[in-house]
Amino acid sequence: QEAKAILDQAANASCIEAEVCAFVCSMLCQSSRLFNGTCALGLPLDMTPDAKGGQEESGTAEVAKLDWYYVEFDPDAVPVEQYYARYQRNSNVPTIESVSIAHMVIPDGASVNEAEAFLLRQGFYRLSAEAQPFYERLGYSQHSLKLLEHQPVADALGPGGVYHTLMGECLNITQEQYVGTTAVREQWHTFHYDLCFFRYTTQYEVHSKPDAAAQFDESGAQQAVEEEKPAEKILLGRAVGFSGGEFS
């Protein structure tokens, strides 16, 4: 599909490593009536003198060689998001702008006021990201306060509040478990659990480096070594309260 419009705009190459270039392109190129959803990012490889004789003969500066990186994106993502934001109550949901603005630069041709407004928005989202852990701690503190306030009625901390000392405590457990599989070497796995009372329980697998014998198959051929992947934390459940019944 041919491009309906071509926009030459600068962006920060850091979006590639962060895997958010599609969001940056959605911010820069809005509306499918103008753009076809293909974004080409030119990454400078090196700077070399002009091939026609250099700067002295051609009168031009150094010519940048570019390596092109293509990204598919949704040109209607931002307008659609803004439309649904009118009816969305949760203001803490990340927006396309909040995810991408750190990898954007001041638009070409922007006025002084527009450039200042862009930098202010960029600073706002940066501070919001830095403050997120504090918001989470504040939310947990407010939740804990509500549990303590309603404890006499709801027994939120156990019958008669007997477990109130566990508020804010977490147990960290790492254990080896049997996992049913056909590969004998993979039957035992090590898992780490975080049990946070009145909050949640999470789990992730602890990957250990294979021993020397595991690097070879039964024929003696060396197997390909897979790159170590970061552990994926799985939420097993959240606290919902205590079941009825007398405590003894």
pLDDT tens for 53-85 read 444 444 444 445 777 888 899 999 998 988 888
pLDDT reading at 37 higher than 50: yes
What count of other Cβ atoms lies within 10 Å of the Cβ of residue 89?
A: 5
Tokens (6 digits) for 160:
């008669």
pLDDT reading at 174 higher than 80: yes
pLDDT number for residue 129: 86
Q: Which residue has the higher pLDDT, 227 or 77?
A: 77
pLDDT number for residue 119: 92
Confidence of residue 14 (pLDDT cuts 50, 70, 90): confident
Average pLDDT of the segment spanning 168-174: 87
Amino acid letter, residue 164 = H
pLDDT number for residue 50: 44
Name residue 64's beta-bridge partners: 47
Which of 2-6, 55-59, 162-166, 206-210 shows the highest mean pLDDT?
162-166
Tokens (6 digits) for 26:
């959605």
Q: Do residues 198 and 240 make contact, with C-beta atoms less than 8 angstroms apart?
A: no
pLDDT number for residue 120: 93
pLDDT number for residue 54: 43
pLDDT digit string, tens, across residues 230-240: 778 898 888 77
pLDDT digit string, tens, across residues 193-204: 999 888 889 998
Residue 188: C-alpha distances to residues 180, 182, 205, 231 (Å): 9, 12, 11, 17
pLDDT digit string, tens, across residues 107-125: 888 888 988 999 999 999 8
Strands 234-238 and 63-72: unpaired
pLDDT number for residue 216: 66
Amino acid letter, residue 241 = G
